């Protein structure tokens, strides 16, 4: 390409030089297009311009606007205009809006100064397409020095510029592929001695995969003798032969990196005199190992194989993909008690524990497609009863596979014992933490009740002690709520809500909790559907528990920053929950809420324990260690996950993942109802409570508030009582009871007495945690008498409104 464009430029320069020569001889003193001048040399000049394949135009600066007065056939073909369409126009009409104004100004300035100029312009053809001109403009003067014409030679460089762009694009693609290639790749330049023996080579370039696979770093520009002085001579001979002969080679070697095998391809590139060789390294270690195993196990009827087969303490088997054993070694009899005759031709699956058959079927399917089986633990049945854990490895070969099984029963037993020990340790930590915190709370309650028994106690102190008891009960209820949250046993009230709006609403409160020296920022990433419309981040979860989880993460961040730093809360969408805590990656549509701080970070040894209840790195009295447990329990119970990323001195990021709701609407907010008064006004209540102390207290308390109450101990008695007069206005039932539980009772009452409202109460119920309240009003224990009264009155008022 460079050679061709230089030839055309040389031709153009020669034509301009001819014009200059004629100008010097005074041949152009009176010449005009068409040979009307007195000098025959001018006619020859225009004739030559007409015949040349170089596009030419002539303009006359003595006419207004320096119009075109001559255009040869080559220029007409280039621009698509006829001579009649060109003559009389200034050549600027060929230039479009994309032409560089600076280039136009250079031509204009040269014409004004009556001097030569060379410039590249973008012009438009008659059909609207573009072409690039390398324009040579030369003024022609008369013998008396008067400017007569401008000769403009046009060199079309469109193709060359396009090829340059394609070359640049190709180079960019090569560079992208070069850096992204998984295989190691490098280019080297060989050095030879006087006898044409390779003595060294220098690295010209190397991609990241080359560095990763070979372990050789920062090699570009360095000689191999600097990097690996002990390089084996065979490498130099091989690469030197490729550089001199041009014959590519392919071979495998295990000396590139320790314990790795590579397939190496070498080919000469560039000019032979450059002695450059391109090297491609493909890691074939896994394939070599698999082939080695296959060769070792496939050698039939050899002495070595027979010795290994009979002497091995591991279970060895050749099994068809039909599931029938073709050969087994004596270890089957020694380890499991099965005689060889009972196994050959029998089903391999028949010797597997029924609970492990499904996993074995998946392994069979993987082997059928050419996959290799690694460390599959299954329970194998023994001939005399019982079972042992066997870890299997297998490789396929034709219509069958070779498998080796190692007894790992002791390891599995130890692992199970370790898990049980860890569980007991966790239970001990949990019960110890509960006992510690509840003993503190009970101490306050016991002391207050003792003081209340003193005679002649002033009213002011009496109220203070009563208030202390009430506050302590509230703290105890919060403590049990946090424990239930961690255990995923809390009764949630899920609703569809916009996470982005909830984060924005909670952010102000977080700012108040963290203090003025912590800068709180929130960022909700844009979320759009396929049509480009903004869509909210909707989830179906308990909004109040979400707010609590967000506040708990923010408080944890505040404490880690010791009251000063930056707290960033972000909301985004994600297509997966990363693998965490031995759980695999979970694909789906999720909303990720991240809380990032600039605090001290979490030590690596504590990362696996931060969600344990009562675990805290804070000082005594500075935290219960239950805040992050609530976050963990809420995430799990809502079908999500919580992850933590941290390093000492680099801050911490907690990310809460919740399943995203698509095609749902935000739950409508019900209009606030007026708070009913606590007085019963004779309302008839059937109390269903199996605990006699709680039942007696609730009944007596409701009577003192003006309710007409009756009390039964179980659901069956409640249904019988409801069939008898007088009629009740509302039923108040515990959830956890022997026999029929409170949920089932409420549903049966709804079936038999549709208009009769039911209010449920519980401190904990797995039924509530797993299934919810089924729409029945719910009161958490412990409750105050006023809360109970208002719940009953509200249920009665709603039932009356529906009726």
**pLDDT, tens digit, for every residue of 83-97?**
888 888 888 888 877
Q: Answer whether residue 594 shows pLDDT above 60.
A: yes
Per-residue pLDDT at 620: 41
Contacts (Cβ under 8 Å, ≥6 apart) of 134 = 9, 12, 118, 119, 120, 154, 155, 157
Is residue 664 domain-resident?
A: no
**Distance of alpha carbon 774 from alpha carbon 560, whole angstroms:** 41
Is residue 264 domain-resident?
A: yes
**Distance of alpha carbon 735 from alpha carbon 715, whole angstroms:** 10
- Which CATH number goes with the domain that contains 74? 3.30.450.20
Per-residue pLDDT at 772: 56
Both 499 and 648 in one domain: the answer is yes
The end-to-end CA distance of the chain, in Å, is: 93
Is residue 237 domain-resident?
A: yes
**For the residues of 480-493, what is the DSSP string, one character each?**
HHHHHHHTT-S---
Query: With pLDDT > 70 as the criterion, what percentage of the chain qualifies?
Result: 73
Is residue 169 domain-resident?
A: no
Is residue 785 domain-resident?
A: yes
Per-residue pLDDT at 274: 86
Q: Answer whether residue 241 shows pLDDT above 90.
A: yes
Per-residue pLDDT at 97: 75
The residue among 375, 407, 439 that closes a domain is: 407
pLDDT, one tens digit per residue, over 729-741 is 999 998 888 889 8
More confident site: 316 or 509? 316
Q: pLDDT band at 171, cuts 50/70/90?
A: low
Q: Answer whether residue 354 shows pLDDT above 60.
A: yes
Is residue 529 domain-resident?
A: yes
pLDDT, one tens digit per residue, over 519-548 is 888 888 888 877 778 888 898 888 877 887
Cα 101 from chain centroid (whole Å): 47
3-state secondary structure of 589: strand
Both 380 and 479 in one domain: the answer is no
Is residue 273 domain-resident?
A: yes
Both 466 and 614 in one domain: the answer is no
Both 11 and 131 in one domain: the answer is yes
Q: Answer whether residue 583 shows pLDDT above 80.
A: no
Both 274 and 315 in one domain: the answer is no
Both 435 and 468 in one domain: the answer is yes
Q: Answer whether residue 125 shows pLDDT above 80.
A: yes
Peptide bond into 253 cis (omega under 30): no
Both 571 and 625 in one domain: the answer is yes
Both 81 and 190 in one domain: the answer is no
Both 401 and 464 in one domain: the answer is no
pLDDT, one tens digit per residue, over 198-228 is 999 999 888 888 888 778 888 888 999 998 8
Q: Answer whether residue 435 shows pLDDT above 60.
A: no
Per-residue pLDDT at 666: 60
More confident site: 30 or 354? 354
Q: Answer whether residue 245 shows pLDDT above 80.
A: yes
The residue among 283, 299, 324 that closes a domain is: 283
Query: With pLDDT > 90 as the criterion, what percentage of the chain qualifies?
Result: 10
Per-residue pLDDT at 731: 93
Q: What is the mean pLDDT of the chain?
A: 77
CB < 8 Å & 24+ apart, contacts of 81-90:
81/126, 85/126, 86/57, 90/59, 90/65, 90/66
More confident site: 617 or 368? 368
Per-residue pLDDT at 25: 52
Number of domains observed in the structure of the chain: 6
Both 194 and 257 in one domain: the answer is yes
* H-helix segments, 299-390: 303-311, 331-336, 340-343, 357-368
**Distance of alpha carbon 186 from alpha carbon 168, whole angstroms:** 21
Secondary element (H or E) of residue 570: strand 565-577
C-beta separation of 747 from 754 below 8 A: no
Both 143 and 24 in one domain: the answer is yes
The residue among 382, 407, 432 that closes a domain is: 407
Both 368 and 439 in one domain: the answer is no
Burial class (CB in 10 A: 0-12, 13-18, 19+), 622: exposed
Domain that holds residue 394: 290-407
Is residue 669 domain-resident?
A: no
Indicate the range of 14-23, 600-609, 690-699 predicted with least confidence: 14-23
Per-residue pLDDT at 280: 83
Strands, E, within 613-712: which ranges?
641-646, 652-659, 684-688, 708-712
């Amino acid at each position: 390409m460079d050679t061709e464009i230089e030839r055309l430029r040389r031709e153009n320069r020669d034509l301009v030089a001819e014009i200059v020569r004629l100008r010097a001889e005074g041949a152009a003193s009176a010449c005009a297009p068409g040979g009307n001048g007195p000098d025959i040399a001018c006619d020859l000049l225009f004739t030559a311009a007409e015949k040349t394949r170089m596009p030419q135009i002539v303009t006359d600066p003595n006419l207004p606007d320096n119009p075109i007065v001559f255009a040869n056939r080559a220029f007409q073909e280039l621009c698509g205009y006829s001579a009649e369409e060109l003559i009389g126009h200034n050549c600027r009409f060929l230039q479009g809006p994309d032409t560089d104004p600076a280039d136009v100004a250079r031509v204009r300035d040269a014409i004004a100064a009556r001097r030569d100029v060379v410039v590249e312009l973008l012009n438009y053809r008659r059909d609207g397409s573009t072409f690039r001109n390398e324009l040579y403009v030369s003024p022609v003067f008369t013998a008396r020095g008067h400017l007569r014409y401008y000769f403009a030679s046009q060199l079309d460089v469109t193709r060359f510029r396009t090829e340059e762009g394609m070359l640049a694009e190709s180079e960019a693609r090569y560079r992208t592929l070069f850096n992204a290639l998984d295989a190691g790749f490098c280019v080297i330049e060989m050095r030879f001695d006087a006898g044409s023996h390779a003595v060294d080579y220098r690295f010209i370039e190397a991609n990241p995969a080359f560095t990763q696979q070979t372990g050789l770093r920062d090699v570009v520009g360095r000689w191999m003798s600097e990097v690996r002085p002990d390089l084996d001579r065979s490498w130099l001979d091989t690469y030197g032969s490729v550089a001199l002969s041009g014959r590519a080679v392919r071979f495998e070697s295990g000396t590139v990196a320790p314990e790795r095998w590579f397939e190496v391809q070498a080919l000469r590139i560039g000019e032979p005199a450059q002695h450059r060789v391109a090297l491609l390294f493909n890691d074939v270690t896994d394939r070599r190992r698999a082939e080695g195993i296959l060769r070792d196990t496939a050698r039939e009827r050899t002495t070595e194989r027979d010795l290994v087969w009979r002497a091995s303490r591991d279970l060895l088997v050749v099994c068809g993909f039909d599931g029938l054993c073709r050969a087994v070694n004596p270890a089957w009899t020694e380890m499991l008690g099965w005689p060889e005759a009972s196994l050959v031709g029998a089903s391999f699956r028949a010797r597997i524990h029924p609970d492990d058959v499904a996993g074995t079927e998946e392994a069979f399917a993987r082997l059928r497609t050419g996959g290799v089986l690694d460390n599959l633990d299954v329970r194998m049945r023994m001939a005399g009863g019982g079972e042992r854990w066997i870890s299997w490895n297998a490789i396929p070969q034709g219509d069958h596979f070779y498998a080796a099984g190692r007894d790992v029963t002791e390891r599995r037993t130890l692992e199970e014992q370790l898990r049980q020990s860890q569980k007991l340790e966790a239970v001990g930590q949990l019960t110890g933490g509960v006992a510690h915190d509840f003993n503190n709370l009970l101490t306050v309650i016991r002391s207050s009740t003792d003081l209340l028994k003193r005679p002649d106690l002033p009213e002011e102190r009496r109220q203070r002690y009563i208030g202390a008891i009430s506050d302590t009960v509230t703290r105890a209820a919060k403590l049990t709520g946090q424990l239930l949250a961690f255990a995923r046993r809390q009764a949630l009230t899920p609703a569809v809500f916009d996470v982005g709006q909830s984060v924005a609403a909670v952010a102000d409160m977080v700012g108040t909790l963290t203090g003025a020296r912590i800068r709180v920022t929130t960022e909700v990433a844009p979320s759009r559907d396929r049509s480009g419309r903004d869509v909210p981040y909707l989830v179906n979860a308990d909004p109040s528990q979400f707010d609590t989880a967000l506040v708990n993460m923010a408080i944890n961040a505040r404490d880690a920053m010791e009251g000063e730093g930056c707290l960033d809360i972000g909301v985004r969408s994600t297509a997966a929950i990363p693998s965490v805590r031995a759980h695999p990656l979970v694909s789906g549509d999720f909303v990720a809420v991240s809380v990032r701080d600039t605090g001290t970070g979490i030590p690596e040894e504590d990362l696996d324990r931060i969600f344990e209840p009562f675990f805290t790195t804070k000082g005594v009295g500075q935290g219960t260690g239950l805040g992050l447990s609530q976050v963990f329990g809420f995430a799990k119970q809502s079908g999500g996950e919580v992850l933590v990323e941290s390093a000492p001195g680099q801050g911490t990021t907690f990310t809460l993942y919740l399943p995203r709701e698509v095609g749902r609407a935000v739950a409508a907010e019900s209009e606030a109802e007026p708070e009913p008064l606590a007085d019963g006004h004779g309302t008839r209540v059937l109390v269903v409570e199996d605990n006699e102390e709680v039942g007696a207290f609730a009944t007596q308390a409701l009577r003192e508030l003006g309710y007409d109450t009756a009390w039964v101990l179980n659901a069956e008695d409640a249904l019988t009582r409801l069939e008898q007069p007088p009629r009740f206005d509302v039923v108040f039932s515990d959830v956890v009871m022997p026999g029929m539980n409170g949920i089932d009772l409420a549903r049966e009452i709804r079936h038999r007495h549709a208009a009769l409202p039911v209010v449920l109460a519980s401190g904990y119920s797995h039924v509530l945690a797993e299934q919810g309240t089924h729409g029945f009003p719910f009161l958490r224990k412990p409750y105050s008498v006023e809360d109970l009264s208002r719940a009953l009155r509200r249920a009665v008022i709603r039932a009356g409104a529906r009726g």
